[in-house]
Amino acid sequence: NSPAMLGGFKTMMTFLSGMRASRKIFNNLLDLVLHAQIRFFDVTPVGRIMNRFSKDIEVAVIVFVLYFFVGKWLDSITKSPIFQHFSETLVGVCTIRAFVDMIGAFIVLASGSFILLNIANIDSGLAGISLTYAILFTDGALWLVRLYSTFEMNMNSVERLKEYSSIEQENYLGHDEGRILLLNEPSWPKDGEIEIENLSLRYAPNLPPVIRNVSFKVDPQSKIGIVGRTGAGKSTIITALFRLLEPITGCIKIDGQDISKIDLVTLRRSITIIPQDPILFAGTIKSNVDPYDEYDEKKIFKALSQVNLISSHEFEEGGLNLSQGERQLLFIARSLLREPKIILLDEATSSIDYDSDHLIQGIIRSEFNKSTILTIAHRLRSVIDYDRIIVMDAGEVKEYDRPSELLKDERGIFYSMCRDSGGLELLKQIAKQSSKMMK
């Protein structure tokens, strides 16, 4: 019974140790990936990341300790010689088998000859065991080759996991004595003023800048539309505000504070974004509006009432049982709970109809009237009544003024965009009415 108990104990300890090691490797890898710079996700397919978290971790637990004692292993990238060798092996498999059988027969012959020559000095039992193991030599050699092949494949997984351990991470604490704002001004930002000075950004060190020398100032509680043709650099402004990219030159200030000196958690919690494709989870409307369970039901119900969205239905993963407009309204309700001072809309209404767009824009104007709003717009009608319009082209700010003033310049980019949209006169009328109301 003792050997059986010890064997069972050994198996259980091996299993528990493997699970613990697997969990630790998984958590460390997940932390590295979640804090990686945006460049990593631009160049790495999702399938490759998923493979690291599934297949590679499964086999890495078994051979991770052996990694420190192995000097060389098969390089996964150079597979051509392996495939060539595999093809040649298939062609000559009969010859290989005959050769292995011949080697096995030679080993048996050599063992038998040695025993016969030393029969007087060798015990009969040892002689029998020697012949038995000689006969089994072929099977043992085959098992050894298979084990070595498995070991090499497992070491590939260790290599790939080690590669992820060197992923470049985001600077969460900020530069030059960061977190000062977090300690001294917990209610930051108070006003929502944004000032961008001579900002230039690139997505990778070997790529040209996507925006160059961008400068503008946004007053507190104002509504700014950002327009431009595809590739003009509109979304890069949003990227810069969240510090997903570090600037080459220039800086961004919010309420007079350089955001590069603020820790990322504080910065990103202080800014709300309503994206084009909202992220929703399977569950109730409450779990989606308040995923961290930070607000009471009364406040949640008020936020849902403000966007005319009251439902007791369960949501599918990604909100597949909701229309695009309902998903946007749910995301706006989530934003209402946080009462942000700065709201960014990244073409949030570009994929919905005009009626839903009009409804959402009306809610944004009425419910976020004390917030600073930056809207990247595909439809000019969505931002024509905003306080100011930023017109971007080729990564630079070409025009920045009230919509009514921009429409007076018939040679301007904004004027040509309005003309090309086919609704120039209507846009002029809306801009003129909006300008009178502001005065």
pLDDT digits (tens, 9 = 90+) for 128-145: 777 777 777 777 777 787
At 68-126, the pLDDT tens digits run 454 445 455 455 566 666 777 777 767 767 777 777 778 778 877 877 777 777 777 77
pTM of the predicted model as reported, rounded to 2 decimal places: 0.69
CA distance 336 to 313: 21
Domain boundary among 139, 169, 199: 169
Domain assignment of residue 381, yes or no: yes
* Between 211 and 108, the higher pLDDT residue: 211
Q: Indicate if 66 and 86 belong to the same structural domain.
A: yes
How many independent structural domains does the chain possess?
Answer: 2
Residues spanned by the domain of 336? 180-438
CA distance 167 to 155: 19
Sequence-ordered list of residues with C-beta below 8 angstroms from that of 354, at least 6 positions apart, any chain: 381
Sequence-ordered list of residues with C-beta below 8 angstroms from that of 144, at least 6 positions apart, any chain: none
Domain assignment of residue 430, yes or no: yes
Beta strands 249-254 and 194-201 are antiparallel
Domain boundary among 116, 138, 169: 169
Q: Indicate if 161 and 189 belong to the same structural domain.
A: no
Which alpha helices (DSSP H) does 244-353 contain, by range? 264-270, 285-289, 297-306, 324-338
219 band by pLDDT with thresholds 50, 70 and 90: very high
Q: Indicate if 202 and 348 belong to the same structural domain.
A: yes
CA distance 131 to 55: 42
Q: Indicate if 236 and 298 belong to the same structural domain.
A: yes
Q: Indicate if 194 and 79 belong to the same structural domain.
A: no
Q: Indicate if 404 and 429 belong to the same structural domain.
A: yes
At 262-306, the pLDDT tens digits run 888 888 888 988 887 887 888 888 888 888 888 888 888 888 888
Q: Indicate if 311 and 417 belong to the same structural domain.
A: yes
- The pLDDT assigned to 124 comes to 76
- The lowest-confidence range among 110-114, 242-246, 339-343, 419-423 is 110-114
CA distance 403 to 385: 7
Q: For residues 175 and 261, is the Cβ–Cβ distance under 8 A?
A: yes
Give me the torsion for CA of 268, 274, 276, 280, rounded to 10°.
90
Domain assignment of residue 100, yes or no: yes
Q: Indicate if 104 and 240 belong to the same structural domain.
A: no
- Taking 70 as the threshold, does the pLDDT of residue 346 lie above it? yes
CA distance 330 to 341: 19
Domain assignment of residue 354, yes or no: yes
Q: For residues 187 and 269, is the Cβ–Cβ distance under 8 A?
A: no
At 80-90, the pLDDT tens digits run 566 666 777 77
Q: Which of 382, 373, 319, 398 is nearest to 349 (CA)?
A: 382
Q: Indicate if 116 and 188 belong to the same structural domain.
A: no
Q: Indicate if 139 and 229 belong to the same structural domain.
A: no
- Taking 60 as the threshold, does the pLDDT of residue 48 lie above it? yes
- The pLDDT assigned to 204 comes to 83
CA distance 200 to 233: 11
Q: Indicate if 163 and 201 belong to the same structural domain.
A: no
Domain assignment of residue 175, yes or no: no
197 band by pLDDT with thresholds 50, 70 and 90: very high
Strand partners, 225: 375, 389
Q: Indicate if 156 and 66 belong to the same structural domain.
A: yes
Phi, psi (deg, nearest 5) at residue 303: -65, -40
Domain assignment of residue 408, yes or no: yes
Mean pLDDT for the chain overall: 80
Query: What is the CATH classification number for the domain harbouring 70?
Result: 1.20.1560.10
Q: Is 101 helix (H, G, I), strand (E, B) or coil?
A: helix
Give me the torsion for CA of 23, 27, 32, 35, rounded to 10°.
160
CA distance 181 to 385: 34
Query: What is the CATH classification number for the domain harbouring 426?
Result: 3.40.50.300
Sequence-ordered list of residues with C-beta below 8 angstroms from that of 295, at least 6 positions apart, any chain: 337
Domain assignment of residue 237, yes or no: yes
Domain boundary among 107, 137, 169: 169
The label of the residue with tokens 């059986």 reads 4
Sequence-ordered list of residues with C-beta below 8 angstroms from that of 65, at least 6 positions apart, any chain: none
Q: Which of 407, 403, 427, 425 is nearest to 416 (CA)?
A: 407
Tell me which H or E stretch contains 417.
helix 413-421
Domain assignment of residue 174, yes or no: no
